[in-house]
Amino acid sequence: MSVLILGLLIFLGAHSLRIFANDWRSRQIARLGEKRWKSLFALTSIIGFVLICWGFGLARQQPVLLYAPPLALRHLNALFTLIAFVLFFAARVPHNRIKAKLHHPQVLAVKVWAFGHLLATGMLHDVVLFGAFLLWAIVLFAVSRRLDRRAGTTYPAGTLKGDVVTIVIGVVVWAIFACWLHLWLIGVNPMG
């Protein structure tokens, strides 16, 4: 469990600089230059992510059951995950009304993904992983919206075409992930 927690601290810590140390972050970008900052950020994120994956795998070898969710929640999680995939791509597809309305759909994708997985799983390592991501996403979303209001940030209006492209990509990638990649990468069949 300690490797998982270390990975979460590194990964989420790096991704929390805007929450807890935005002025320091801005000074470092100015001092190092944007390219070097992004390189260091990416390296830190990769290290944290690798530790999360490794630590989660280790923790799964010694499972501690906290609660046994009903089977129906696994199916509900499939819906939450589908929504999370659409939100994830809403952050990337230009000119969609989802991003125009929600402003930070990728952070919301993490919230929905983590919440759905907390409903569907009940092991200690699951609660640590998904609970940490859920808490982080809740705080980051609130801070990001507050920073947007303070800066007067506006998001361009979306179009129906942007919405359709976002939803189609999200559904297709979700289906591929749910039907094949989740089992191959995680070792769990979410549809089984």
- The whole-number average pLDDT for the span 8-22 is 93
- The whole-number average pLDDT for the span 37-53 is 96
**The pLDDT of residue 192 is above 80:** no
Digit-coded pLDDT (tens) for 122-155: 999 999 999 999 999 999 999 999 989 998 988 8
Digit-coded pLDDT (tens) for 54-112: 999 999 999 999 999 998 998 899 999 999 999 999 999 999 999 999 999 999 999 99
Q: What is the pTM of this model?
A: 0.90
- The whole-number average pLDDT for the span 28-39 is 94
Closest to 48 (Cα-Cα) out of 22, 17, 23: 17
Are the C-beta atoms of 191 and 174 separated by less than 8 Å? Answer: no
Please state the φ and ψ torsions of residue 16, each to the nearest 5 degrees.
Answer: -105, 5
DSSP 8-state class, residue 65:
B
159 beta partners: 96
Please state the φ and ψ torsions of residue 21, each to the nearest 5 degrees.
Answer: -145, 50
123 beta partners: 65
